């Protein structure tokens, strides 16, 4: 779920004409927490947090009851505990969420082959070709929500609009468990009532810069000459936000293809300036990616670091390994050296990500060097087995664990080496 700012004024009805709105954005509500409640119905109505159980862990998802206390995804568990000490904390179970996600995506694929899976809990659909069989986009959206609820048991929110960008914003304003239509002719009126932070690519820093120029809502942003925006934010960001402020988004819905990479990335609303914090985020991402490789019987030969600064400048650095791997220790060794050569951007990192490419199947085999030990991956594979049985938090790298400390004390210094 997006944590971008919302506007109560945008939640109202914008009309009933869905004749020019073929794009649907389906977004599961608090997905990890909703799935956990299927196994723990006794927790319905209580604040639930899904994430790492150590103080250095982060919140992966939380129920709306926990959000009422200010808990949000990507927040440190220490901060989440301070805000909502009575919350029930459950470990992450990625395999379970993936299995439930496949059932959800199966429902969507009954509507149209034009399904673009964005993540485990959200997807875009182009229902242009489904109208004759299933009815209008709004009727299709209602059918999707009903079928997911009855078959899978979890809630979904749907945004209906003329473009992907507007449909995504609409679904975020439909939450929880709702649907919002933005007719084509109402697109600009809908966008105008939003704060600038609701647009893709606008975080706290950019919002503050725009506010310094008197630009706090999309209405003012849309009325600002694009050349001025380019001077304020830079050419790329200025043009990007000018187009979005007018609802311009020509991207089509692109159905998924065979996975050619495995990756994960995190966007931070409060930028990261502490490099030790950045290393810890990347170490966690390396372990996530390596675990996904092993689960799919894949290996990767290319390691990619992605970093975006507060000014939206994005850089990628990559390195090709001598032999393909599915081990986090190999991946992080490369990522750590790539980060070491990358200066902290002005204002800090607003996004960090790890991507693994050059995938090959495990059964393809790999040539071992004379000094390679085929048993070197045994610890990580043993950890996979333990987490599969006892939960994600049962084992973790030492650098991601919290040493014993007195209640209420701050986090310990970050370890400088992965184990």
- Can you list the domains of the chain with their CATH numbers? 13-182 (3.30.70.270), 194-246 (1.10.150.20), 261-362+380-389 (3.30.1490.100)
Tell me how far apart the alpha carbons of residues 281 and 57 are, in angstroms, rounded to a whole number: 10
Cα-based torsion angle of the residue sequence 37, 40, 45, 46 in order, rounded to the nearest 10 degrees: -110
Is 396 buried (19+), middle (13-18) or exposed (0-12) by CB count in 10 A?
Answer: buried
CA of 187: how far to CAs of 47, 71, 180, 215, 347, in Å? 35, 31, 12, 20, 33
**C-alpha to C-alpha distance for 156 and 152, rounded to whole angstroms:** 10
pLDDT recorded at residue 364: 47
CA–CA separation, 214 and 221 (whole Å): 9
Q: Tell me the pLDDT of the chain (419 aa) as tens digits.
A: 455 677 888 888 999 999 999 999 999 999 999 999 999 999 999 999 998 766 567 888 899 999 999 998 878 888 899 999 999 999 988 889 989 999 999 999 999 999 999 888 999 999 999 999 999 999 999 999 999 999 999 999 999 999 999 999 999 999 999 999 999 999 999 999 999 999 887 877 888 999 999 999 999 999 999 999 999 988 888 998 999 999 999 899 988 655 578 888 888 867 899 999 999 999 999 988 998 888 878 899 999 999 999 887 889 999 998 889 999 999 999 999 999 999 999 999 989 999 999 888 754 444 444 344 455 555 555 555 544 444 444 455 655 554 333 333 333 323 222 22
- The values of phi and psi at residue 416, to 5°, are -95, 5
From CA 319, how far away is CA 334, in angstroms rounded? Answer: 7
Residues annotated within the binding site are 27, 121
349 Cβ contact partners less than 8 Å away, ≥ 6 residues apart: 268, 271, 272, 273, 278, 307, 308, 309, 310
**Under a CB-based contact definition with an 8 Å cutoff, are residues 167 and 159 in contact?**
yes
Q: Cα 281 to chain center, whole Å?
A: 14
Q: What is the pLDDT of residue 412?
A: 32
Give the model's pLDDT for residue 366: 45
* 151 within 8 A of 103, measured Cβ to Cβ: yes
Q: How many CB atoms lie within 10 A of CB 258?
A: 5
End-to-end C-alpha distance for the chain, whole angstroms:
32
Q: Which helix (H) or strand (E) holds 50?
A: strand 48-51
pLDDT at residue number 11:
83
The answer to pTM > 0.85 is no
- 3-state secondary structure (DSSP) of residue 402: coil
Q: Rounded CA gap, 65 and 70, in Å?
A: 10
Q: Catalytic residues, which ones?
A: 122
Sequence ranges of the binding site for Mg(2+): 27, 121
Cα-based angle 364, 368, 370 (whole degrees, multiple of 5): 165
- CA 380 – CA 294 distance, rounded (Å): 10
């Amino acid at each position: 779920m997006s944590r971008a700012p919302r506007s109560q004024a945008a939640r109202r009805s914008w009309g009933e004409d869905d004749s020019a709105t073929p794009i649907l954005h389906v977004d599961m509500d608090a997905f990890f927490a909703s799935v956990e409640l299927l196994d723990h119905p006794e927790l319905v109505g209580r604040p639930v947090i899904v994430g790492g159980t150590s103080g250095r862990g982060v919140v992966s998802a939380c129920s709306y009851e926990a959000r009422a206390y200010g808990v949000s995804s990507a927040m440190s568990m220490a901060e989440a505990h301070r805000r909502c000490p009575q919350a029930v904390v459950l470990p992450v179970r990625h395999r379970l969420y993936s299995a439930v996600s496949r059932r959800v995506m199966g429902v969507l694929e009954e509507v149209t082959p034009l399904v673009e899976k964005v993540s485990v809990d959200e997807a875009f659909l182009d229902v242009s070709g489904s109208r004759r069989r299933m009815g209008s986009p709004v009727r299709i959206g209602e059918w999707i929500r009903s079928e997911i609820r009855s078959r899978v048991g979890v809630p979904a929110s749907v945004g209906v609009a003329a473009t992907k960008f507007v449909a995504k914003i609409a679904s975020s304003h439909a939450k929880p468990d709702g649907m919002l239509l933005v007719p084509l002719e109402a697109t600009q009126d809908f966008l105008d009532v939003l704060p600038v932070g609701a647009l893709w690519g606008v975080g706290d820093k950019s919002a503050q810069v725009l506010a310094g120029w008197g630009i706090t809502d999309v209405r003012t942003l849309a009325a600002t000459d694009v050349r001025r925006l380019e001077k304020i934010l830079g050419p790329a960001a200025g043009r990007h936000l000018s187009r979005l402020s007018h609802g311009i988004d020509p991207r089509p819905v692109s159905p998924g293809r065979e996975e050619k990479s495995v990756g994960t990335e995190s966007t931070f609303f409060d930028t990261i300036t502490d490099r030790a914090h950045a290393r810890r985020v990347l170490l966690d991402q390396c372990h996530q990616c390596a675990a996904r490789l092993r689960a799919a019987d894949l290996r990767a030969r290319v390691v990619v670091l992605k970093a975006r600064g507060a000014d939206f400048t994005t850089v990628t650095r990559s390195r090709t390994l001598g032999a393909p791997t599915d081990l986090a220790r190999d991946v992080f060794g490369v990522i750590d050296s790539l980060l070491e050569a990358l200066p902290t951007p002005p204002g800090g990192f607003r996004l960090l990500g790890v991507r693994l490419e050059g995938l090959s199947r495990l059964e393809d085999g790999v040539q071992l060097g004379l000094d390679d030990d085929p048993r070197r991956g045994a610890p990580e594979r043993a950890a996979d087995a333990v987490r599969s049985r006892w939960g994600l938090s049962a084992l973790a790298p030492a650098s991601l664990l919290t040493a014993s400390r007195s209640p209420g004390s701050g986090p310990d210094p970050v370890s400088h080496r992965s184990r």
